[in-house]
């Protein structure tokens, strides 16, 4: 069922497909991550003033940053930045490791970004208001907190609405379910998996069931599947 869930999540949210990097080995993944970080660092360097950063934190004015001079969030990353292992950070090391210099971000920081850009011409203020309105609707008891029960209820409500919209858009004959001829896009490609009762239709219940399954994690995909006892006995031979 997890593959079904992934299919419906793609349909509901128009999510991006999995990257080809999923198939890389751990070593290749690390190499790709290093390359991405270096590119990100080059882009951030345009907006990050290394000279000012050194000036702000270089207490002994030697032109380098010692471990006890860097901001707290960088101390755990000091050894990664200090590539020549001389116990201090040079301008060149800071430039190459600039992706580490920004405090770690959380998904919710997009709100901070919107606030910082609230004078933009693309209605950033309107987007902030929309987020606020959504959160107020989720907070049913109006206590200023998003309780787990409220979050679950909102998730069910939104999935229910989106599934209804899928059926409304694709169900041309109005029978309340989707045939293979009516299916389009990702739903058509995964139709046979979604049609769990094999009646030739994908109904509302099947869409909801698939949407509520958690997508299979990359670790689960990569984990070797245990062999059956029969297979093990075959390889081990009679005892």
Do the Cβ atoms of 106 and 113 come closer than 8 Å?
no
Judged against a pLDDT cut of 50, whether residue 201 lies above it is answered with yes
Judged against a pLDDT cut of 80, whether residue 75 lies above it is answered with yes
Judged against a pLDDT cut of 80, whether residue 21 lies above it is answered with no
Note the pLDDT tens digit of each residue in 135-167. Answer: 999 999 999 999 999 999 999 999 999 999 999
pTM higher than the cut 0.85 = no
Supply the DSSP symbol for 105: P
DSSP bridge partners of 178: 202
Provide mean pLDDT across the span 182-211.
93
Nearest to 206 by CA among 218, 220, 189, 190: 190
Note the pLDDT tens digit of each residue in 97-143. Answer: 877 766 667 788 888 888 887 777 677 788 889 999 999 999 999 99
């Amino acid at each position: 069922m997890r593959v079904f869930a992934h299919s419906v999540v793609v349909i509901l949210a128009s999510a991006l497909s999995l990257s080809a990097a999923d198939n890389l080995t751990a070593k290749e993944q690390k190499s790709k991550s290093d390359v991405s970080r270096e590119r990100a660092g080059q882009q951030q360097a345009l907006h990050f003033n290394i000279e000012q950063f050194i000036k702000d934190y270089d207490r002994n004015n030697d032109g380098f940053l010692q471990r006890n001079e860097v901001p707290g969030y960088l101390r755990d990353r000091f050894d990664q930045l200090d590539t020549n292992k001389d116990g201090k950070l040079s301008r060149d090391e800071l430039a190459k490791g600039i992706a580490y210099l920004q405090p770690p971000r959380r998904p919710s920081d997009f709100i901070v970004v919107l606030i910082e850009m609230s004078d933009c011409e693309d209605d950033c203020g309107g987007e902030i208001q929309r987020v606020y309105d959504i959160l107020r609707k989720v907070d049913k008891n109006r206590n200023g907190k998003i309780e787990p029960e409220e979050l679950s209820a909102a998730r069910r409500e939104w999935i229910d609405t989106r599934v209804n919209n899928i059926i409304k858009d694709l169900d041309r004959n109005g029978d309340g379910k989707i045939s293979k001829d009516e299916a389009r896009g990702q739903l058509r490609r995964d139709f046979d998996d979604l049609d769990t009762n094999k009646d030739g239709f994908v109904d509302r219940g099947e869409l909801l069931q698939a949407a509520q399954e958690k997508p299979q994690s990359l670790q689960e995909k990569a984990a070797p599947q245990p062999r059956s006892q029969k297979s093990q006995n075959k390889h081990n031979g009679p005892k």
